Amino acid sequence: MAESCLFDEQNELARAYLNRAQHANAIVDDAGFYYDKSIKLSEKKRADLFVDNGECVIVKSEKGLETICIVHGDNTCLNDRIRLNTVVTDNLRVYSRDFVTIHKCGNVPDGSHI
């Protein structure tokens, strides 16, 4: 009887982990292998977040690290996924299938200290 109780608790924990992506700005990282300082989102997800093509956004990891990136549209990307390049994944210390959040950023002048 105790085993079935533990099994139910594990299911609850798994469901709670998967339900974290209910927020519009919490997106799962997908593998992207390109080297510019940009992220790729689907057209629908960009419309949900009110982010235009070429706009600057702040990407935050679960560990509290953040970086600024430029958004580009990608029709091959799924709606609940984001494609981060290898430099951004190293800066945020995230791996494939980790959650990141996206927030709009104001104007960022070139070469300014953040």
**Chain segment 77-96, per-residue pLDDT in tens:** 888 888 888 888 888 898 87
Question: How many CB atoms are closer than 10 A to CB 38?
Answer: 18
Spell out the SS3 assignment of the chain.
Answer: CHHHHHHHHHHHHHHHHHHHHHCCCEEEEEECCCCCCEEEECHHHHHHHCCCCCCEEEEEECCCCEEEEEEEECCCCCCCEEEECHHHHHHHCCCCCCEEEEEECCCCCCCCCC
Number of domains in the chain: 1
Q: Does a structural domain hold residue 53?
A: yes
Q: Does a structural domain hold residue 14?
A: no
37 φ/ψ angles, rounded to the nearest 5 degrees: -85, 65
- Mean pLDDT, rounded, for 8-36: 62
Residue with tokens 């235009």: 52
Q: Does a structural domain hold residue 3?
A: no
pTM of the full structure? 0.69
pLDDT at 32 over 70: no
CATH number, domain at 86? 2.40.40.20
Q: Does a structural domain hold residue 2?
A: no
More confident residue, 69 or 13: 69
Task: Give the domain extent around 88.
Answer: 24-104
pLDDT at 36 over 90: no
Residue with tokens 């419309």: 47
**Residue 65, pLDDT score:** 93
Q: Does a structural domain hold residue 4?
A: no
Using a pLDDT cut of 70, give the percent of the chain over it: 66
Q: Does a structural domain hold residue 81?
A: yes
Q: Does a structural domain hold residue 17?
A: no
Q: Does a structural domain hold residue 57?
A: yes
**Residue 1, pLDDT score:** 44
- Summary mean pLDDT of the chain: 76
